A and B are shown apart, each in its own frame.
Chain A
Amino acid sequence: MRKLAVAVVVLTGGLLLYAATDFAAWGDPESPASDSDVSKHFIAETGVDTEVPNMVTAVLADYRGFDTMFETVVIFIAGIAILAILKLTGKDATKTPGKRKDEVDDAPDLIVTHTVRLLVPIIQLFAFYVLAHGHVSPGGGFQGGVIMGASFILVALAWDLPRAMDRLSVDRAILLAGVGILIYAGIGLLAMFLGGEFLDYAELSTIFPVSREMARYHAMLGVEIGVAFTVTTVMFAIYASLSSKGRLEGGL
C-alpha cells in the first residue's frame, strides 16, 4: 500500500514537471494569460467600465461577481453545515455536561482582558477601513470580515464563550450570515428586476441618481458589505461551535 502511494506521488510529480516544460516564460508579457483580449480589457477598461481604481476588486466583485457570490455561499454553507452537524438536540441539549479535564476555573487574566479591551475597538475600526477601502486599495469584504470576526474570537479567548455570545449569539450570527447572502444576491436580483441581467449593477442607476459607471462602483461596496456580514458571523459561529464541541459554553 505504501509503495503504491509512493508510486502515485512520483507519477503526479512527474506529470507536474512534464507540464512545466511547456510553460510560458517567467514574466513574459506575450504569454497567453497576459496577452489575451480578456486581460487587455481588464487592464485598459476597468476604470472606464466601473470607475474603480483597484482592478482586482473590479474583476472579483463585478466582472466575475457571480463567482464571488457563490464563494460567499460556500462560506455560508461551511457555517451552516458545521452548526448542523455539531448542534445538540433533544435530551443532549438539556443535559449539563461535567467539567472537562482541561477546563480551569481561574478568573480571566487581568493583563489579557485589559489589553483586549484596548485592542478590540481598534481591530474593529480597522476592519471597517479594510472593508470600505476595498475598491481603492487592497482589501474588501473577505479581508474586512475576517478581521471583524477575529475581534469577536479575541473576546471569547480573553474571557469565555458566553461573554462573546452576549455580544453575538450563534443563532443571531447565522441569521446575519443569511443577511449577507441576501444583500449580495438581493442586489443582483434588484438589477434583474430593473431590466438587466442578474448582477448587472449598472441598471441600479435607474433608481439611484448616479451614472451607470458609478452605480457599478457603489454596488461593489454593497456586495462587499454583504460578504463581510457573512464572513464575520460564520468565522465566529465556526469558532464557537468547534471550540465547545457544539455545547456553546465554557472557556478555552
Chain B
Amino acid sequence: MSENSIALIFACPLFGAVLCTFLGGAKRALCHPVAVVSLGGALWGGIETLRRVVASESHEISYLLGGWTLDSYPRGVGIEFRADLLGTLIMLVVIGVAFLVALYSKLTVSEETPEKEGPFYTLFLLQVTGLAGICLTGDAFNLYVLIEVAALTGYGLIAMGSARAAAATFNYVILGTIGASFYLLGVGYLYMKTGTLNMVGIQEVIVQQDLADSATMQVAFVFIGLGILIKMAFFPFHAWLPNAYSHAPTSTSCLLAPLVTKVMIYVMIRMTLTVFGVDFSFEETLWTKLLPWLVVVAIVCAATMALAQRDLKKMLTYLIVAEVGYMVGGVWIYNYYGLVGSIFHVISDACMTLCLFLGAGIILRKVGTSHFDGLKGLFRRMPLTMTGFFVGGFSIIGLPPTCGFFSKWYLITGGMLAERWEYVVALLFSTMVMVVLFFRLIERIHLAVKESGEEFGHGHGDLDLPENETRFDEAPLSMLIPLLLSAAVVLLIGIYNQDVVNLVESFLEPLNLPKGTDR
C-alpha cells in the first residue's frame, strides 16, 4: 500500500467529492464529516509520501499512472507523477490548509449557502484534488487539465457567495480563461518542438538539441509565463482577485486565498527550473532583467492600494497581490537565496494568509461586517480569535519568531547578494506599509468602546447595546480551533525554519544557481 501513497492524495478527495454528491439531498449533514475524513486520508498519504521522498536516495519518487513504467516504455508514453521535495512540500501545505478549512467550514457553509452543502463540499474536495495534483504531476499537459479542475471549481465556489459574487466571478472566468489559454498555447509549442509532454523529457530535448535560440521556444516561454502570471494575479493582471475573494463565501475565500496564487507560483518555479531549465529561463531570456522591475511596481502599487482599503477582507486581498510580487521577485532576481526565500515564502505565506482569512471569517460572522468601523473593542470580546489573527498579521509584517520573518529574511538576503537593490527597497517599503496597516488595526481592535453615542455594525443584533459591545463573546470552537491551529503552525514553521529550509536547499543544491558575489 505504501507505494500507492501518492494515489491516495488525489483519490481520497475525488471519491469523497462523488460521495458528497450522493449525500447532497436528504443526508447533506453528512457531507462535512465526509470532507474532513477524505482530507484526513489525503493528509496521511501526503505525509507518507514526504517520508518516502526524504528517505529515497535521489529525493524523488516516480509514480507511473496506468502502469506505463519507465523500464518497459519510453518516457512520456503515460502520465508520470513525480514527487520531489519541492512538489511534495507544497502539496502537503495544500492538503494541510484544506484540512483546517474543512474543519472550520461546518457553520459558515450551512449558514451562508443553506441546502447547498452537497455541491459545496463536492466542489471543495475537487478543488483540493486539482491543487494537490498540480504539485505532483510531471506532465505539462496533465498540469493544464488539473489547472482547469482547480479553476472551474474555484468559479463555482466563489459564485455561490453574495449577489455581487456573480459579477466578480464573471471577471475571474474571463481572465482565468485567458491565462489558461496562454498556458495551453505555450504547451502546444513545447510539444511541437520537443515531441513530448513529460517535464523531464522536455528538459532533456532542450539540452540535447540546444533549442534555446528557437523562436518558437522563446514564444512558448513567454506565453506560459504570461498565462501563469495572469492566473497568480501578478500586479497588472490582479483585477479579478480582490472582488472575487472578498465577495466569496467565507469558507471559499479561506480555501482559495492561501492556496491558488501560491500553487501558481509553484507552477512558475516548476516551469523555470524543471521544464525549461535554469540556463534557458535565466540566461537566454530577458525575464531576469525585466521582471524584477515589474515586481517593484507590483509590490509598491499593491501595498499602496491595501493602505487605501477600509474593509478588512478587501485589504487582505490586496496583501495577497503584494505577496505574489515578493515571491515572483524572489525567483527572477536569479539568486540561490532568492529562490530559497521564494519557495519558503510560498509555504509560510499560505499558512499566514490562512490564519488571517480564518480570523476575518470569524469577525465577519460575529460582527456582521468586515468594515474597519466594526472592529472597535473586538479584543475584549474575542481575545483568543484576535490573538490568532494577530499572529498571522505579525507574520505578514515579518516579526520573529513567525515564519514570515524567516522567509522574508531569505528574500532580502537574495536581493542583496544578487545586487538587485530596487527589489530590496520595494520589500522594505512594503514591510513599512504592513506595519502601518496592522498597527492601525491593532489600535482599533484594542480600543475600548467609550463613545456610547457612536453606532457601528448597523443593525446587527445586540451590537446596538453599548454594554454588550465589550462582553466576552468568543467564536464557536469549531471555528476557533482551526484558527489557533493555523496560528500555531505559523509559529512552529518559524521556530523550525531550518528544517524546512534544509529540505528546500537539498532540492535547489544540484541546480547550481549563482549564490551572489560575496560567497
Contact = CB atoms under 8 A, between A and B. Distances in A.
A138 to B, nearest CB: 22
B7 A192 contact: yes
Nearest to B198: A38
Given A19-B215, A32-B193, A182 B146 contact: no
A188 B215 CA distance: 41
Interface stretch (A108-116, A118-126, A171-179): A171-179
Interface string A72-85: 01100110111111
A90 B120 CA distance: 17
Interface string A221-240: 00000000000000000000
A62 B66 contact: yes
A182 to B, nearest CB: 5
A32 B214 CA distance: 13
Interface stretch (A99-107, A144-152, A193-201): A193-201
Contact of B123 (A77, A189, A192): A77
B186 to A, nearest CB: 10
A33 B76 CA distance: 12
B357 interface: no
Nearest to B169: A85
Interface in A55-96: 62-67, 70-71, 73-74, 77-78, 80-85, 87, 89-90
Contact of A178 (B18, B67, B120, B189): B18
B1 to A, nearest CB: 9
A33 B191 contact: yes
A34 B67 CA distance: 24
Contacts of A74: 145, 148-149, 152
A208 interface: no
Q: Which of A37, A84, A201 has most chain B Cβ within 10 Å?
A: A84
B463 interface: no
Contacts of A244: none
A189 B11 CA distance: 8
Interface in B54-82: 63-68, 73-79
Given A15-B219, A197-B4, A198-B65, A85 B166 contact: yes
A178 B65 contact: no
Interface string B126-146: 100110010000000110011
A192 B64 CA distance: 12
Contact of A81 (B22, B159, B205): B159
Nearest to A37: B74
B26 to A, nearest CB: 11
A19 B216 contact: yes
A66 B129 CA distance: 13
A33 B188 CA distance: 10
Contacts of B22: 175, 178
A188 to B, nearest CB: 8
A78 B223 CA distance: 26
Contacts of B67: 191, 196-197, 199-203
Nearest to B74: A37
A84 B192 contact: no
Tell me whether chain A's interface is mostly helix, strand or loop, or mixed.
Answer: helix
B149 A77 contact: yes
Contact of B21 (A33, A39, A178): A178
Contact of A89 (B4, B115, B123, B215): B115
B417 interface: no
Nearest to A93: B115
Contacts of A82: 156
Tell me whether chain B's interface is mostly helix, strand or loop, or mixed.
Answer: helix
Contact of B215 (A18, A35, A37, A196): A18
B209 to A, nearest CB: 8
Nearest to B67: A200
Contacts of B25: 171
Given A67-B142, A178-B18, A81 B148 contact: no
Contact-residue bracket for chain A: 35 or more
B225 to A, nearest CB: 12
B123 A80 contact: yes
B18 A41 contact: no
A70 B220 CA distance: 24
A166 interface: no
Interface string B201-221: 100010000000011111110
Nearest to B130: A70
A197 B66 contact: yes
B49 interface: no
Nearest to B21: A178
Given A32-B193, A174-B21, A77 B152 contact: yes
A38 B119 contact: no
Nearest to B194: A32
B15 A185 contact: yes
A16 interface: yes
Nearest to B189: A19
B116 A23 contact: no
Contacts of A78: 152
A36 B196 contact: yes
Q: Which of B76, B119, B217, B223 has most chain A Cβ within 10 Å?
A: B119
Contacts of B120: 84
B153 interface: yes
Q: Which of B4, B25, B67, B141 has most chain A Cβ within 10 Å?
A: B67
Contacts of A197: 4, 7, 63-67
A39 B195 contact: yes
Contact of A32 (B24, B119, B123, B195): B195
B11 A198 contact: yes
A199 B81 CA distance: 13
A214 interface: no
A24 interface: yes
B145 A22 contact: no
A130 interface: no
A90 B115 contact: yes
B319 to A, nearest CB: 27
Nearest to A180: B18
Nearest to B3: A197
Nearest to B24: A174
B21 to A, nearest CB: 4
Contact of A22 (B21, B130, B214): B214
Contacts of A64: 78-79, 141-142
14 contacts: A33-B191, A36-B76, A38-B76, A63-B77, A77-B153, A80-B21, A80-B156, A81-B152, A84-B120, A89-B114, A189-B11, A197-B63, A198-B4, A198-B63
Q: Kindly list the 3 A-B residue pairs having the minimum CB-CB distance in the complex, ordered from nearest.
A: A36-B195, A81-B156, A200-B67
Given A38-B74, A81-B153, A182-B18, 5 more contacts: A21-B215, A33-B192, A78-B152, A80-B123, A185-B15
Interface of A: 15-16, 18-24, 31-39, 41-42, 62-67, 70-71, 73-74, 77-78, 80-85, 87, 89-90, 171, 174-175, 177-178, 181-182, 185, 188-189, 191-192, 196-203
